[in-house]
Chain A
Amino acid sequence: GQQLNQSPQSMFIQEGEDVSMNCTSSSIFNTWLWYKQDPGEGPVLLIALYKAGELTSNGRLTAQFGITRKDSFLNISASIPSDVGIYFCAGQPYNNNDMRFGAGTRLTVKP
C-alpha cells in the first residue's frame, strides 16, 4: 500500500559516471523528497518535489516527481567520491501525513 520500493539497493560506480535510482509505490503520494545520509550522520534533505511532473535540480542532482504520482527518480551526474552514502526517497501518501521512507540506495564511488 503505502510502502516505498527503492532500487537499486546498492551501486558501485566509477568516479565520473552518472547514477540513477528510483522509488515506486502502489499508492499515490502528494510529495516526494530525496535525502542523503553520510556515514555516522543523520539524513540531509537534497531535493523536495511537490507537483506531478516536476523536475528539480540541485547542482549535479536532478529529481523528478512522476506523472502518475506513484514514483520518483534521482539522477546524479558526473559522480565524485563525496557522493558516497545512502540515498533515501521519502514521501507523503495522499491520505496520510506520516512521511514514508524507502529502504535506501547505498552508493559507492571508486576513484
Chain B
Amino acid sequence: DAGITQSPRYKITETGRQVTLMCHQTWSHSYMFWYRQDLGHGLRLIYYSAAADITDKGEVPDGYVVSRSKTENFPLTLESATRSQTSVYFCASSESRGFGEKLFFGSGTQLSVL
C-alpha cells in the first residue's frame, strides 16, 4: 500500500526503557518529519530530515534520537522514556520544505509511558 506507514499503532512502555517508533514512506519524498500531538498544543515538530543521513532538530527534540540511513525510513527512538513523552506521534513526509511544503501524515503511534 502506497503512502506513509507507522508502526506500532499503540505502544505501552515503562519509564527508563528504550522504544523505537518506525516510519516508512513509498512516495520517495526527500523530507521526513516527526511530530508529537498533545492536547492543547496541536502538533509540534521533534526532528526532520532532508535526505538520507541529514537530520535536524525541531521545536521539541530533547529526549529523542532519529536516524535516516535509507530515504524511505525514518525511525524515532526514545532512549530512556519519560512520562512526559506520553503522546501521539505522527510521521510525515513532503517533497519540499519551507514555502510550498505540504505534509502527508501517517496514522500515528499512540505511546503511553507508565
Q: Residue A103 contacts which of B41, B92, B106 (CB distance < 8 angstroms)?
A: B41
Contact between B101 and A99, CB atoms less than 8 A apart: yes
| A89–B101 CA distance with the chains assembled, in angstroms | 14
- The reply to whether the CB of B11 lies closer than 8 angstroms to some CB of chain A is no
Q: Output the least CB separation between B89 and chain A (Å).
A: 10
Q: Which of A42-50, A62-70, A75-83 forms contacts with chain B? A: A42-50
Chain B stretch 24-72: residues in CB contact (< 8 A) with chain A: 35, 40-45, 58-59
* Chain B residue total in the interface (Cβ 8 A): 24
Q: A42-B107, A98-B45 are in contact. Are A103 and B40 (CB under 8 A)?
A: yes
Q: Output the least CB separation between B95 and chain A (Å).
A: 12
Q: A42-B90, A101-B44 are in contact. Are A48 and B99 (CB under 8 A)?
A: no
* Chain A residue total in the interface (Cβ 8 A): 24
- The reply to whether the CB of B83 lies closer than 8 angstroms to some CB of chain A is no
Contact between B42 and A101, CB atoms less than 8 A apart: yes
Contact between B105 and A99, CB atoms less than 8 A apart: no
- The reply to whether the CB of A24 lies closer than 8 angstroms to some CB of chain B is no
Contact between B105 and A42, CB atoms less than 8 A apart: yes
Q: A30-B99, A97-B97, A99-B101 are in contact. Are A41 and B107 (CB under 8 A)?
A: yes
Given A42-B92, A42-B106, A45-B102, 6 other A-B contacts at CB below 8 A? A31-B100, A33-B102, A48-B102, A88-B42, A98-B45, A98-B58
